[in-house]
Amino acid sequence: MPSALCSTPPRKNIVAPTPKGRDRLRQAEKARREAERRFIAPLDEETAASLVRALQALVLTE
């Protein structure tokens, strides 16, 4: 906890993924999209859109 008497600004850590980490993130995003596609594939377009909106509403309320 910063002290009121301390004149030095709090330290900040800057974190960035390595090139290998960026590749992994791209792979993970591709896998997520594919899993989502397979999950909603049995639904018609309207039902799939409703499900996605409902799930987004649940996630965004936190």
Query: Percentage of the chain surpassing pLDDT 90?
Result: 73
pLDDT at position 4 over 70: no
| Helical (H) or strand (E) element with 53 | helix 45-60
Let me know: does 51 contact 43? Beta carbons within 8 Å: yes
Range with lowest mean pLDDT among 11-15, 18-22, 34-38 = 11-15
The SS3 of residue 12 is coil
Q: What is the pTM of this model?
A: 0.62
